[in-house]
């Protein structure tokens, strides 16, 4: 039996997750970003220059309606007042509405990131991303570089500083099954003075992955290999031994990725009542999560973190259909142009391909 295309797999997984979401009745979850709390929400904040560490994760210094009752003497920190305000938002909302604080963390630099810089994005997309590696290294299920490890350690130090300032800590942790995210989450959170970090047992979620297909760096290791390296991590129910989503011939479209990440967020919010959630993922996955939540586009550097306050509402009826573009193959390359400098295998991107 021929292997289903990536598009069919993506839609099938998303459909199954949507069915699981509406167990009792035909309902669905709608997501919207509540702005005005973090600098990353503001159009004036430049993602290319923003420093989440120096800016206290982007928390905006401001007052809240709940301050008068909670902090009449103005002795509480900004984070403590925000945490109380979040509690009040949920306390005063109806049974079908909740407010969730998502900490979205991108993995530290991986060997695939280094290779893309070395060869350039065009050569990376049309040739090198399809290989297992080069003479320097391998990037199948890419691991963190020394720089990536340092970036995760920076995130850990940033979290430690915010703990002292009263940041509401995650009540649940989720992580992509790709190694660079598994490692980033461990370095960042293991043993921190926060709940659920001693031991640190995040839930590994299949759909939290980077854009699917083609690029070998985005294929995952077998479940048994992940469990051997991270024995404390929890696999979601049904997590397969071998990668069910990677397709060496096709690359998932951005719109299909949006559908997949919407299914993931719906699944988490339907099953997990936690108010504060940590998700360690990838640039593409975080782009889709922000898009699904109605947040403005905000590209994260490797190792960076963005907090997002999301309003979640359960509404009657099936979820509205989302447009899904088909997957695409690799850009066409041709032999030639030694100036490209890729060793024995030299390729040139065909103009207009």
Task: Please name every residue paired with 174 in a beta bridge, in sequence order, or none if there are none.
Answer: 203, 279
Assess whether pLDDT exceeds 60 at residue 5. no
Domain ranges of the chain: 25-62+95-109+144-329
| CATH 3.40.50.9100 for domain 25-62+95-109+144-329 | no
Angstrom distance (rounded) from CA 106 to CA 185: 9
* pLDDT tens, position by position, 187-246: 999 999 888 888 999 999 999 999 999 999 999 999 999 999 999 999 999 999 999 999
CA distances to 129, 163, 339, 353 from 349, in Å: 14, 49, 12, 7
Nearest-Å Rg of the Cα atoms of the chain is: 21
Point out the catalytic residue in the list 210, 215, 252, 348: 210
Point out the catalytic residue in the list 28, 84, 85, 107: 107
Q: Helix H segments across the chain?
A: 6-21, 67-70, 78-91, 111-119, 121-126, 146-164, 179-189, 223-229, 254-271, 283-292
Residue 348 near residue 333, CB atoms below 8 Å? yes
| pTM listed for this prediction | 0.91
Assess whether pLDDT exceeds 60 at residue 113. yes
84 in active site: no
85 in active site: no
Angstrom distance (rounded) from CA 273 to CA 289: 18
Q: Which residues, including other chains, have CB under 8 Å from residue 15's CB and lie 6 or more apart? A: none
């Amino acid at each position: 039996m021929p292997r289903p295309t990536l598009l069919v797999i993506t839609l099938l997984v998303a459909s199954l997750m949507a069915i699981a979401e509406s167990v009792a009745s035909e309902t669905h979850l709608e997501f919207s970003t509540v702005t005005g709390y973090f600098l990353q929400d503001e159009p004036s904040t430049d993602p290319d220059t923003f420093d989440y560490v120096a800016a206290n994760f982007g928390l905006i210094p401001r007052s809240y309606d709940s301050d008068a009752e909670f902090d009449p003497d103005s002795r509480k920190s900004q984070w403590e007042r925000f945490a109380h305000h979040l509690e009040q938002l949920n306390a005063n909302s109806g049974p079908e509405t909740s407010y969730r604080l998502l900490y979205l963390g991108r993995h530290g630099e991986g060997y695939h990131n280094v290779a893309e810089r070395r060869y350039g994005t065009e050569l990376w997309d049309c040739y090198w991303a399809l290989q297992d590696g080069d003479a320097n290294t391998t990037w199948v299920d890419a691991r963190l570089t020394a720089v990536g490890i340092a970036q995760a350690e920076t995130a850990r130090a940033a979290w430690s500083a915010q703990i002292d300032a009263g940041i509401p800590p995650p009540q649940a942790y989720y992580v992509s099954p790709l190694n660079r995210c598994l490692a980033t989450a461990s370095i960042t959170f293991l043993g921190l003075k926060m709940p659920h970090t001693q031991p640190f047992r995040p839930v590994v979620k299949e759909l939290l992955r980077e854009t699917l297909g083609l690029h070998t760096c985005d294929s995952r290791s077998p479940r048994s290999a992940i469990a051997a390296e991270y024995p404390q991590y929890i696999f979601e129910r049904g997590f397969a031994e071998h990668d069910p989503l990677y397709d060496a011939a096709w690359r998932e479209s951005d719109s299909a990725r949006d559908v997949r990440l919407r299914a993931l967020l719906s699944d988490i919010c339907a099953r997990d009542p936690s108010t504060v959630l940590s998700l360690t993922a990838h640039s593409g996955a975080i782009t889709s999560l922000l898009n699904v939540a109605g947040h403005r586009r905000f590209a994260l550097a490797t190792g960076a973190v963005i907090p997002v306050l999301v309003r979640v509402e359960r509404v009657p009826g099936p979820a509205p259909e989302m447009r899904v573009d088909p997957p695409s193959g690799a850009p066409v390359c041709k032999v030639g142009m030694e100036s490209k400098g890729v060793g024995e295998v030299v390729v040139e991107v065909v103009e207009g391909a």
